[in-house]
Chains A and B, each alone.
Chain A
Amino acid sequence: MRYSALGLIKEALTGHKGWRPQWRDVAPQSHYDYVIIGGGGHGLATAYYLAKVFGAARIAVLEKGWIGGGNVGRNTTIIRSNYLLDGNEPFYEFSLKLWENLEQDLNYNAMVSQRGILNLVHTDAQRDAARRRGNAMILNGSDAELLDTDGVRAMYPFLNFYDARFPIKGGLLHRRGGTVRHDAVAWGYARGADMRGVDIIQNCEVTGLRIEGGKVQGVETSRGYIGAGKVGVSVAGNSSRVMALAGMRLPIESHVLQAFVSEGLKPFIPGVITYGAGHFYCSQSDKGGLVFGGDIDMYNSYAQRGNLPVVEDVVESGMSLIPALGRARLLRSWGGIMDMSMDGSPFIDRTDIEGLYFNGGWCYGGFKATPAAGYCFAHLLKTDRPHETATAYRLDRFMSGHMIDEKGQGAQPNLH
């Protein structure tokens, strides 16, 4: 059923009895042309674009829990296209363009809000780096604007401008960046995929990959064996575990990243602010809660919760940037598991096993990439060639020397 204002009025007048489930609850069939492992944002987007754009038939999405229960439900909802390197920026710009048209495309209110992202700078060197990044963004069709201190003050007068160590010297404003209602992204893609015949199978954990003669035949699951022509793995956070079923080791470590939300407040922060002198970023949800986060916990973890020292570190950073934050009470904190890759950039690639494809390694930037990752992964699954914006996301790039290291940290995943 299509959603519309007229439909909403009709339902309101008839006691909201006509709403239907947004996707079917189906039992797995014995064989599919495409099996996507992982019913998160990326997996559902992949199935959606496979069905809609690439005209593939007989697609299943397998999810071990419930759809949208992983990282697409545990992030801080920010979308942006403000990367520096050539391997990345065209991809994220493609993603942002898909976000801009997402709700019309899905006929689903995902609350895409391009409220602007401001990256603060505190030193001359940071200003130079921001100018360079802004130019790279503009060259790739994105938008960037360098603000001086007065420009920042006009937007956010309550920031701590006169901090003795880290005075605010300006910021790089990316006006098309913003936030999205994250759960609605998973649900919208699920509904769109389901309407095009994709089977979304929940509570179906993949326990093995059947590989014969170097070619994938299907997947063993908690709900029985399912044959597959091609298998796409899209399980960021647990990538190493699933790919180990195929005997592969990945250039990835799993780490926990915490996020926080305060009690609901009156409108206070209209956009997204990132601190340049500590790892802290903050926005305000439409319900009024301040949504913020910081660094990962630094050690390998599959626990979806972090430890207190990082809570303290994030809150200290927040207080040094926005002193008023101290008046708000923290409502909730949670953790999500990140695929931290060896150069801080993701993978969308084939594997050495015929018919097995991999999408992962998103570090803590997977949410903003959801539409483009789905689109590019679908493109790869259907055509066996990478999409033009995702040619650099190869699994063999460490051997060939084509790393995409935005931060220049080297092979130390917890520093990206």
Chain B
Amino acid sequence: MIINHPLLGPRDAQEFTYLGDAGLMNRPYWLSETALQQFHDYLYLRENPAGEHRELWFHEQGDRSWLVVTRNTVTHEILKVELARDVALAQKAANLVQEPSQ
């Protein structure tokens, strides 16, 4: 597989290590009433879809950036590659618009 790195261009997937579902970026709030259940679900449960899957790859043999790769788990086709930092910042901005009190 070739991962088209947003900064470095097409790179062999062998340069990366794989973490898993991109949902791992969204760590639950640790003081929540239901933190125990939320952390259990966050740490152990997965959607595990057959088809499009957003997942975290780490460019260990390269620029050591985290990427969010959207990939089809049935065909191995890579549909989209983003810097995880950009995704996180976009999420944060969206959350601020939705709930300005936080």
Contact = CB atoms under 8 A, between A and B. Distances in A.
B46 A252 contact: yes
Contact of B14 (A301, A309, A342): A309
B74 A249 contact: no
A252 B76 contact: no
A249 B18 contact: no
A250 B1 CA distance: 27
Contact of A398 (B1, B21, B40, B49): B40
Given A238-B50, A254-B50, A309-B14, A303 B75 contact: yes
A251 B46 contact: yes
Interface size class of A (residues with CB under 8 A): 20 to 34
A411 interface: yes
Contacts of A300: 20-21, 48, 53, 55, 73
A307 interface: yes
Contacts of A299: 13, 18, 55, 71
Pick the most buried of B21, B40, B45: most chain A CB atoms within 10 A of its CB.
B45
A301 B73 contact: yes
Given A251-B44, A254-B48, A398-B44, A302 B14 contact: no
A134 interface: no
B41 interface: yes
B18 A251 contact: no
Interface in B15-32: 17-21
A249 B47 contact: yes
B88 interface: no
A302 B44 contact: no
Given A303-B73, A303-B76, A250 B45 contact: yes
B43 interface: yes
A270 B85 CA distance: 53
A176 B47 CA distance: 39
A241 B53 CA distance: 13
A249 B73 contact: no
Contacts of B74: 302-303
Interface residues of B, number: 27
Contacts of B76: 301, 303, 307
Nearest to A396: B40
A302 B50 contact: yes
Contacts of A413: 20
Given A249-B41, A398-B40, A399-B40, A307 B50 contact: no
Interface string A214-253: 0000000000000000000000001011000000011111
Contact of A254 (B41, B45, B73, B75): B73
Contacts of A414: 18, 20
Contacts of A342: 43-44
Nearest to A301: B73
B94 to A, nearest CB: 24
Interface in A307-324: 307, 309
B24 to A, nearest CB: 10
A353 interface: no
A241 B18 contact: no
A240 B47 contact: yes
Nearest to A398: B44
Contacts of B40: 398-399
A328 interface: no
Contact of A240 (B17, B19, B46, B71): B46
A139 interface: no
A249 B46 contact: yes
A342 to B, nearest CB: 5
13 contacts: A240-B49, A249-B41, A250-B48, A299-B55, A300-B48, A300-B53, A301-B73, A301-B76, A309-B14, A342-B43, A398-B40, A398-B43, A413-B20
Interface of A: 238, 240-241, 249-254, 298-303, 307, 309, 342, 398-399, 411-414
Given A240-B47, A240-B49, A251-B45, 8 more contacts: A240-B46, A252-B48, A254-B73, A302-B50, A307-B1, A309-B13, A309-B14, A399-B36
In the A-B complex, the 3 residue pairs with the closest CB atoms: A240-B48, A302-B50, A249-B45
